[in-house]
Amino acid sequence: MTRSFPGLSELKELDHDRLSALAEKIRTFLVREVSRTGGHLGPNLGVVELTLAVHRVFDSPRDKIVFDTGHQSYVHKILTGRAVDFGTLRKAGGIAGYPQNSESVHDLVENSHASTALSYVDGLAKSFRLRGEKDRTAVAVVGDGALTGGLAWEALNNLGAGGSPVVVVLNDNGRSYAPTAGGLADHLAALRSGEGTGTNLFELLGFGYVGPIDGHDTVAVEEALREAASRREPTVVHCVTEKGHGYVHAENDEADRMHAVGAMDPETGEQKPGSGRSWTSLFGDVIAEIGAEHEDVVAMTAAMLLPVGLGRFAREFPERVIDVGIAEQHAVTSAAGLAMGGSHPVVCVYATFFNRAFDQALMDVALHGLPVTFVLDRAGVTGPDGPSHHGMWDLALLGRIPGMRVAAPRDADQLSLLLREAVAVSTGPTAVRFPKATAGPAIPAMQRMDGVDLLRRSPGMPLDVLIVAAGVTATAALEAAELLESEGLGVTVVDPRWILPVNPVLVHFAARHRLVVTVEDGVRGGGMGSALREAVSDTRVTTPVVTLGLPKSFLAHGDRATILRACGLDGPSIARVASASIPALPEGAPTSAEVTR
């Protein structure tokens, strides 16, 4: 398969006709392969010619090419010898859906968080200059959506000072998922249409500007890149492209031009429906109901209105939904302003992207005790999008924020209840987190004790093991309980619902058991388990607390269930740890059942 695509040196020698033929061949390949594996079809169809031109003009890896967000790097991967691997795209052990250093010397930035490329090339170009490497160029391929991120403007400000051999390839398809929002989008639209009056924003900031050019004309892009490269100064090459270009089903997809697809029929563009309802879909209904119940609720998204489930809310309350672009930091501080103004903002972001807005949540929302609710979708292990997409840091971050209350629903019923409880809090921030998964069946509680749901207590058995499960880990915790009971250990499984800060009643539960095991789909240090262990250690309770969670490492892409199992968060693994960790009873000591009788 590699043989059917040219390598970089051969690519530079192709004539224009063969270039056009190659572009079509790549497009056909993308549709065939990505319809099998799933992935970012639309964005990559939109950068076929642009990527060909970039690799014909610049000499990777001596010249450094940075793809912002990296979801549009499939063509780059094809041209750098990995076409043969596309059957493994985003699968465990297969090639990543983003650049990956371990795959190729041509890959640089693995972080799939948007708006970073300009900062990377700013640093790269400065290092070239400091090392006297005058013939090297740093190239950023940046989408119009990525340009709405604050970090991009910090970089533009620095690059605009000049002196850096940087070429900014602006891949302007007018969309993130949906059409890009805001004043910048309007400015780019004016430039695209040729009505950009006089000097444009980039020139005002000190950049050279070449364009707008047809981003699907390889030769035109190539000429523009050569011109930009020759200037040895920061220069923007404004490429006008179409997301999903050349594949009718993507071109006709008004929602997001097939931004990210699952396995699908390439002939019809029909994706195979999943079984059951996703957490996102359930959330979408609940937030719309809440929108009707609470006029002060305002929903916010960072360029991901549909992916975070706000479609229905937006249809029913168009005046109360705000899309800030890819600008999570702005979203949170703007939410602080909304809350100061008397609204109750619900900021809906993927958990991994909340990382970026930590300081805003801490110092703009929590410091002022403002009623902002964070809804963190894709919390925990996500799977195919790899290390920078696993939403595994949020609990450790949220746990550091004074006054922040965090809820993790175990099923759809709890999602509805907890979200309503969250928007009813007026004295400070709240967060509700749930995974990228289909919601499982309802998990009823035997009873609620001071806010903690008792999910299981081994009938007629001693109080040996207390399992404290955060959100959806309740399912695995209950599986573990059954296994432990078969070993003769009495198990209590509880769901705190509000998992941070720790509910003090859990310390009393701990005191009555021989071992506590906490389970969370988040990084092990600093989350719910750590907090409970700390709460127990602040008392005279001596029950040992074993905390189970994700390792503090960058987890490779793969399948969510497989990764969770590998991290010991499935039922059998939890049972094994509990069984191995329970302290032996002293000789002749009464079992805890006798004590509690």
Ligand X SMILES: CC(=O)[C@@H](O)[C@H](O)COP(=O)(O)O
Ligand Y SMILES: Cc1ncc(C[n+]2csc(CCOP(=O)(O)OP(=O)(O)O)c2C)c(N)n1
Q: Are 80 and 2 in contact (CB under 8 A)?
A: no
Separation between Cα atoms, residue 589 and residue 169, nearest integer Å: 73
Whichever of 143 and 196 has its CB closer to Mg ion, that residue is 143
Amino acid letter, residue 226 = R
Q: In 3D, which of 410, 375, 373 has the Cα closest to residue 519?
A: 410
| Residue 260 contacts ligand X per CB under 6 A | yes
| Residue 465 contacts ligand X per CB under 6 A | no
Q: Return the one option of ligand X, ligand Y, Mg ion, none that residue 302 interacts with (CB less than 5 to 8 A, by type).
A: ligand Y
Please indicate if the annotation marks 145 as binding a ligand.
Answer: yes
| Residue 71 contacts ligand X per CB under 6 A | yes
Element (H, E) at 333: helix 328-340
Q: How far is the CB of 142 from ligand Y (least distance, A)?
A: 7
Q: How many chain residues are in contact with ligand X, going by CB under 6 A? A: 11
Catalytic-labelled residue, pool 33, 328, 485, 520: 328
Q: In 3D, which of 306, 309, 300, 305 has the Cα closest to residue 332?
A: 300
Please report, to the nearest 10 degrees, the dihedral formed by the alpha carbons of residues 79, 265, 257, 45 taken in order: 10
Q: Return the one option of ligand X, ligand Y, Mg ion, none that residue 378 interacts with (CB less than 5 to 8 A, by type).
A: ligand X
Q: How far is the CB of 112 from ligand X (least distance, A)?
A: 5
Whichever of 76 and 514 has its CB closer to ligand Y, that residue is 76
Residue 330's alpha-carbon distances to 109, 284, 334, 335, 536, in angstroms, are: 24, 23, 6, 8, 38
User: Which residues have CB under 8 Å from 571's CB, separation 6+?
Assistant: 475, 476, 477, 478, 479, 480, 482, 483
Q: Return the one option of ligand X, ligand Y, Mg ion, none that residue 356 interacts with (CB less than 5 to 8 A, by type).
A: ligand Y
Greatest extent of the chain over all pairs of C-alpha atoms, in Å: 90
Q: How far is the CB of 433 from ligand Y (least distance, A)?
A: 17
Q: Which tokens belong to 313?
A: 């809310």
Contact string (CB under 6 A) for ligand X, positions 382-401, x = contact: x--x---x------------
Please indicate if the annotation marks 209 as binding a ligand.
Answer: no
| For helices 412-423 and 279-293, angle between their N-to-C axes, nearest 10 degrees | 40
Catalytic-labelled residue, pool 77, 175, 243, 524: 243
Length in residues, the chain: 597
Residue 20's alpha-carbon distances to 17, 216, 242, 456, in angstroms, are: 5, 10, 17, 64
Closest residue to ligand X using C-beta atoms: 71
Stretch that binds ligand X, among 73-81, 381-389, 403-411, 494-502 (CB under 6 A): 381-389
Separation between Cα atoms, residue 253 and residue 258, nearest integer Å: 6
Q: How far is the CB of 515 from ligand Y (least distance, A)?
A: 40
Closest residue to Mg ion using C-beta atoms: 143
Q: Residues 69, 171, 355, 360: which binds ligand X (CB under 6 A)?
A: 69
| Residue 436 contacts ligand X per CB under 6 A | yes
Q: Residues 80, 100, 112, 475: which binds ligand X (CB under 6 A)?
A: 112
203 given a catalytic annotation: no
Q: In 3D, which of 492, 397, 479, 481 has the Cα closest to residue 453?
A: 492
Whichever of 82 and 243 has its CB closer to Mg ion, that residue is 243
Helices (H), 370-468: 394-398, 412-423
Q: Residues 27, 82, 175, 378: which binds ligand X (CB under 6 A)?
A: 378
Q: How far is the CB of 189 from ligand Y (least distance, A)?
A: 13
Radius of gyration for the chain, computed over Cα atoms and rounded to the nearest angstrom: 26
Please indicate if the annotation marks 158 as binding a ligand.
Answer: no
| Residue 37 contacts ligand X per CB under 6 A | no
Which 8-state DSSP code applies to residue 158? Answer: H
Please indicate if the annotation marks 399 as binding a ligand.
Answer: no
Please indicate if the annotation marks 328 as binding a ligand.
Answer: yes
Please indicate if the annotation marks 144 as binding a ligand.
Answer: yes
Q: Which tokens belong to 526?
A: 């600093």
Whichever of 171 and 352 has its CB closer to Mg ion, that residue is 171
Whichever of 260 and 287 has its CB closer to ligand X, that residue is 260
Q: How far is the CB of 133 from ligand X (least distance, A)?
A: 32
Separation between Cα atoms, residue 407 and residue 432, nearest integer Å: 5
Residue 133: CB atoms within 10 Å: 12
Q: How far is the CB of 379 from ligand X (least distance, A)?
A: 11
Stretch that binds ligand X, among 150-158, 378-386, 440-448, 507-515 (CB under 6 A): 378-386
State the burial class of residue 265 (Cβ atoms within 10 Å of its Cβ: 0-12, 13-18, 19+).
exposed
Whichever of 386 and 429 has its CB closer to ligand X, that residue is 386
Whichever of 301 and 503 has its CB closer to ligand X, that residue is 301
Q: Return the one option of ligand X, ligand Y, Mg ion, none that residue 436 interacts with (CB less than 5 to 8 A, by type).
A: ligand X
φ/ψ of residue 430, rounded to 5: -135, 160
Element (H, E) at 516: strand 515-523
Which residues would be at the binding site for Mg ion (CB under 5 A)? 143-145, 173, 175
Q: Return the one option of Mg ion, ligand Y, ligand X, none that residue 465 interacts with (CB less than 5 to 8 A, by type).
A: none
Please indicate if the annotation marks 355 as binding a ligand.
Answer: no
Separation between Cα atoms, residue 72 and residue 64, nearest integer Å: 16
Q: How far is the CB of 447 from ligand Y (least distance, A)?
A: 41
328 given a catalytic annotation: yes
Separation between Cα atoms, residue 363 and residue 375, nearest integer Å: 18
Q: Return the one option of ligand X, ligand Y, Mg ion, none that residue 557 interacts with (CB less than 5 to 8 A, by type).
A: none
Strand extents, DSSP E, 351-484: 373-377, 405-407, 430-433, 447-449, 452-457, 465-469
Helices (H), 448-496: 474-486
Whichever of 241 and 475 has its CB closer to Mg ion, that residue is 241
Separation between Cα atoms, residue 453 and residue 457, nearest integer Å: 11
Dihedral angle sign, alpha carbons of residues 98, 102, 104, 106:
positive
Q: Return the one option of ligand Y, Mg ion, ligand X, none that residue 50 interacts with (CB less than 5 to 8 A, by type).
A: none
Catalytic-labelled residue, pool 356, 378, 456, 533: 356
Please indicate if the annotation marks 247 as binding a ligand.
Answer: yes
251 given a catalytic annotation: no
Which residues would be at the binding site for ligand Y (CB under 6 A)? 43, 46, 69, 71-72, 112-114, 143-146, 171, 173, 175-177, 243, 302-304, 326, 328, 353, 356
Residues that bind ligand X (CB under 6 A): 69, 71, 112, 259-260, 307, 378, 382, 385, 389, 436
Name the binding residues: 71, 112-114, 144-146, 173, 247, 328
Active site residues: 243, 328, 356
Name the binding residues for Mg(2+): 144, 173
Name the binding residues for thiamine diphosphate: 71, 112-114, 145-146, 173, 247, 328
